[in-house]
Amino acid sequence: MDNPSKIIEGGIEYTLGKFDGKSVLYDFDKILIYLNAKGKLLFGDHFRIYTEDENIIRKLCHYFIKDKENCQKNDIDPEKGILLTGPVGCGKTSLIKLLKNLVPLQRPYLFAPCRNIVFGFNHLGYKIIEDYGDSSPICFDDLGVEPIGRHYGKDCNVMGEVLLSRYDLFLKTKSKIKTHATTNLNAEELEERYGNRVRSRMRELFNLIAFDENTNDKRK
């Protein structure tokens, strides 16, 4: 791709800003036009960007395009992953799936629902924790509401173990392999679910970006 400020989707070229040959000066209004169009292609014609969500989307955009100045203003560390929290139906999963398309030159992350990882553990055991604990960049969807894993009669807090492994990976690779996650739970609920040790590692793994708890359920 010669010009990273332009993306072609469905035969239409979208301009995200100005490219000076070295870097892109992004235009947020143009980014929103592109995200709206890409969202409809990914999720159907009912998809739209809500005005009330633009502040969250702006922060996510700053993170993904690596806008250091705005990341600093919002206390976002571009070296860490994103933990996107908010009530059921606020659009977390759609946004985290959508935003990676903004930077096609960056290494894409896999997308893994946490309950599927637990089901995999129930069948295959600890190999699943190794697979997800040491792999590509990844986004864990719906963290904290997955069931407890059970393999050969032994219970295991599967995602807690996976997060500890991802933390070790983060230290080893000096943040080159990112971990992202979406969750409906708040910090206290996450600590209750995974314990203090995992929660403290999560603080080092993730930037917390949170929807307002009164955000409407967009699936209704």
List the helix and strand counts (H, then E) for the chain.
Answer: 9, 11
Q: What is the CATH code of the structural domain delimited by 79-210?
A: 3.40.50.300
Task: List the pLDDT tens digit at each of the 220 positions of the chain.
Answer: 468 789 988 889 999 999 888 888 899 999 999 999 999 999 999 999 999 999 999 999 999 999 999 999 999 999 999 999 998 878 899 999 999 998 887 888 999 999 999 999 999 999 999 999 887 899 999 999 999 999 988 999 999 999 999 999 998 877 678 999 999 998 889 999 999 999 999 999 999 999 877 776 666 6
pLDDT in tens, 113-157: 999 999 999 999 999 999 998 878 999 999 999 999 999 889 999
Sorted by where each begins, the domain ranges of the chain are 79-210
What is the rounded CA–CA span in Å between residue 183 and residue 86? 7
63 neighbors 55 (Cβ within 8 angstroms): no
